[in-house]
Structures are given as structure tokens and as C-alpha cells.
């Protein structure tokens, strides 16, 4: 497996991956497809933080982080993160999270935020964002809205995701 920055030619494979990872038996496209297509084109997209995991020519995992804000302070919103269902539990998601963290730190980012499973993300250092004084866009998210501090001076306040998240 290799991790690298997403390239425009990867996008059809990323969308197929998302359809497989987030799809349901009903056959309708999951909302993550439209979200990803919008994130690829939005001004909050940070190309260095759009990552693919590949095995040979195959995209087997994907993770994107986009510019968000805590008040007027920049922050990162991570997601969607997806791994092919048949390749789960092989460390692909963990590798994508570690590479995102490494790159975000090199870029001088102070915090990464996400909405995710409380049984998965804490093992990678994520904790309830409220513990850091960061409020979720939806208070009902509770502890599922998590933060990974990358610096000592993490801002507090209300978090706002990149614009495409507002259409969900």
C-alpha cells in the first residue's frame, strides 16, 4: 500500500470507493458522493490534505480535510474518510489518519475536527471537541464531534465546516 496526494485522475475511483463504502442496499447514491464532488471544487479544499491509499493501480482508501473555522480562526474539518469494505481492518484508515496528522502538523495547523464513531477515533488521539471548548455545528452530535489538537494554542468557539457541508 502507498499513500499519496490525490490527483485529478483519481476522482472517478474515489467516488466509486465512496459509493462502495457508504452505499446502502437501496441502490441510491449516498450523500457522501455529492459532498466529495463539491469538496473537490470548493475554495476550502486543501490539495495536500486530499489523500489516497493505493494498492497498485487501485484506490483502496481516501481521506480529505478541508478548511474550516472556529470563529475567525482556521481549523481543519476531516472527512469523509473511506476504505473499501473488503479492505477494512487492515490499517488503511489508521494510515490515512496518521498521514493527515503528519501533513497538517507540517502545514502549521492547530486542530483537526471530525464527526465520527466514538469507538474508533479516540485511539488516534481524538477526543470530544467540547473538552477543548469547541462547539459542534449541531449540538446533538455530542461526543461524536471530536478534535485532535496539534498545538498548545487551540482556539475555542463554534466550528464551521467548509461550505459544501452546509448542503447535507
**Polymer length in residues for the chain:** 168
Cβ pair 115, 79 in contact under 8 A: yes
Across 26-163, the runs of DSSP E, i.e. the strands, are: 45-55, 58-70, 73-83, 111-115, 127-128, 134-135, 145-149, 157-160
Give residue 8's pLDDT. Answer: 82
Question: Which cell goes with 104?
Answer: 497538517
Question: Which cell goes with 83?
Answer: 476504505
Q: Which residues contact 153 (CB under 8 A, 6 or more apart)?
A: 110
Give residue 124's pLDDT. Answer: 96
pLDDT class of 30 with cuts at 50, 70, 90: confident
Give residue 26's pLDDT. Answer: 67
Q: Which CATH number fits the domain 2-161, given the four candidates 3.40.250.10, 1.10.3720.10, 3.30.1780.10, 3.40.630.30?
A: 3.40.630.30
Which pLDDT tens digit goes with each residue over 83-141? 999 989 889 999 999 999 999 999 999 999 999 999 999 999 999 999 999 999 999 99
Provide the percentage of residues in the chain whose pLDDT is more than 90. Answer: 85
Cis peptide leading into residue 78 (ω within 30°): no
Contacts 24+ apart (CB under 8 A), 131-136: 132/156, 133/157, 134/70, 134/158, 134/159, 135/159
Average pLDDT, the chain: 94
Taking the model in full, what pTM does it have? Answer: 0.94
**Structural domain boundaries of the chain?**
2-161
Q: Is 119 exposed, middle or buried (0-12, 13-18, 19+ CB in 10 A)?
A: exposed
Amino acid at each position: 500500500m502507498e499513500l499519496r496526494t490525490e490527483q485529478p485522475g483519481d476522482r472517478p475511483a474515489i467516488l466509486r470507493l465512496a459509493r462502495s463504502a457508504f452505499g446502502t442496499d437501496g441502490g441510491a447514491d449516498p450523500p457522501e458522493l455529492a459532498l466529495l464532488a463539491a469538496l473537490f471544487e470548493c475554495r476550502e479544499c486543501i490539495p495536500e490534505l486530499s489523500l489516497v491509499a493505493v494498492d497498485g493501480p487501485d484506490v483502496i482508501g481516501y481521506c480529505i480535510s478541508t478548511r474550516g473555522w472556529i470563529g475567525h480562526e482556521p481549523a481543519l474539518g476531516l472527512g469523509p474518510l473511506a476504505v473499501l469494505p473488503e479492505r477494512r481492518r487492515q490499517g488503511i484508515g489508521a494510515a490515512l489518519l496518521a498521514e493527515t496528522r503528519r501533513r497538517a502538523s507540517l502545514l502549521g495547523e492547530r486542530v483537526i475536527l471530525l464527526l465520527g464513531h466514538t469507538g474508533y477515533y479516540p485511539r488516534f488521539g481524538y477526543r470530544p471537541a467540547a473538552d477543548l471548548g469547541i462547539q459542534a455545528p449541531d449540538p446533538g452530535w455530542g461526543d461524536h464531534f471530536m478534535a485532535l489538537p496539534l498545538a498548545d494554542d487551540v482556539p475555542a468557539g463554534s466550528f464551521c465546516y467548509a461550505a459544501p457541508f452546509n448542503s447535507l
